[in-house]
Amino acid sequence: MDNQLIQRLKEAKGKGAKLFCAYLTLGFPNLSTTEALILALAHAGADIIELGFPFSDPLADGPTIQFASAQAIKKNVRLNDAFRLVRKLRKRGLRISILLFTYLNPIMHYGMSRAIRQLHQSGFDGLIVPDLPPDEGKMWESWFQRFNLSLVYLIAPTTDHARAKEIAKRSSGFVYYVSLRGVTGARSSISPDLIRNLRIVKKMTKKPVLVGFGVSSPKQARAITKVADGIIVGSAIVERLKGGRKGVRSAVSFASSLMAAMKRKE
């Protein structure tokens, strides 16, 4: 199967377009809603879906995604649910790029080589593991290349220049830049250092640089994508799913407002 992420990144570069990635917690509020959301976001124009596997001990997730993960865990959501869901969507003809977001513990418990095969067979385009540094990920990179999958690494504001350059070189598809120190969660403003740091990272690589953690308003989306190649939005979307039946509509409407802000002419 073609890697939809790589294709979408090439298309965006050719058009000079910015990329919108939506994070969803698998199984929150339930698996059927996750499926409906992916379809709705794809229809609304999202470029990438980051499907987060619920984990009990997340290192990078703030209160909103921790809550969503806890609710999904109570419903016994498993990694195989992610594979089944994406396989089903691909059979329906869905072409949007989809990445699995998970921590190292669940993926190693499942078996990394087994997981890579399942990612490929079910139609995922790659994997993001926030607690997998390139030093430890190196042993698996050839496997990802073999199965035409991307392994995306993260750069933090505290990453020194030399290491950030190495991470950017090794990251496959795009570079995930963490906008702030701390965990995920909506923020009222962006870090004063973000734009300056982004300019530095952009000089290190020709790969797209997408910004995640804390992006939660059209104004922020607009400001960030004047420099970055796209944004990754999670908590602000997941938070809206607490609104019962209106949650999907609210989440998609919010995502659409961010995408519109990114495309708006000066």
Amino acid sitting at position 37: L
Strand order in the sheet with 19-25: 150-152, 126-128, 97-101, 48-52, 19-25, 230-233, 209-212, 175-178, 154-155
Question: What mean pLDDT comes out for the span 9-33?
Answer: 96
How far is residue 124's CA from residue 99's CA, in Å, rounded to a whole number? Answer: 6
Instruction: Determine the pLDDT at residue 124.
Output: 98
pLDDT in tens, 29-56: 999 999 999 999 999 999 999 999 999 8
> What does 87-116 look like in DSSP terms, one character per residue?
HHHHHTT--SEEEEE--HHHHHHH-HHHHH
Instruction: Determine the pLDDT at residue 138.
Output: 93
Which entry of 61, 81, 125, 239 is annotated as an active-site residue? 61
Confidence band for 184, pLDDT divided at 50, 70 and 90: very low
Question: What mean pLDDT comes out for the span 88-111?
Answer: 96
Instruction: Determine the pLDDT at residue 214.
Output: 78
Instruction: Determine the pLDDT at residue 88.
Output: 98
pLDDT in tens, 125-172: 999 999 999 999 999 999 999 999 999 999 999 999 999 999 999 999
pLDDT in tens, 236-247: 999 999 876 788
Task: State the virtual CA torsion across 214, 218, 223, 225 in degrees, nearest 10.
Answer: 80
Instruction: Determine the pLDDT at residue 182.
Output: 46
Which entry of 11, 35, 50, 239 is annotated as an active-site residue? 50
Query: Which of 97-106, 187-196, 212-221 has the lowest average pLDDT?
Result: 187-196
Average pLDDT over the chain reads 92
Tokens of 20: 């919108």
Query: Over 90: is that where the pLDDT of 99 sits?
Result: yes
| pTM, two decimal places | 0.94
Catalytic annotation present for 135: no
Question: What mean pLDDT comes out for the span 181-206?
Answer: 75
Query: Over 80: is that where the pLDDT of 181 sits?
Result: no
- Could you give the percent of the chain with pLDDT greater than 70? 93
Domains of the chain: 18-151+215-261 (3.20.20.70)
Continuous H helices in the chain: 4-15, 31-44, 63-74, 79-91, 104-110, 112-122, 134-146, 161-170, 194-202, 218-224, 235-240, 247-263
Catalytic annotation present for 131: no
- Could you give the percent of the chain with pLDDT greater than 90? 83
Query: Over 80: is that where the pLDDT of 113 sits?
Result: yes
Report helix angle 112-122 to 134-146, nearest 10.
40
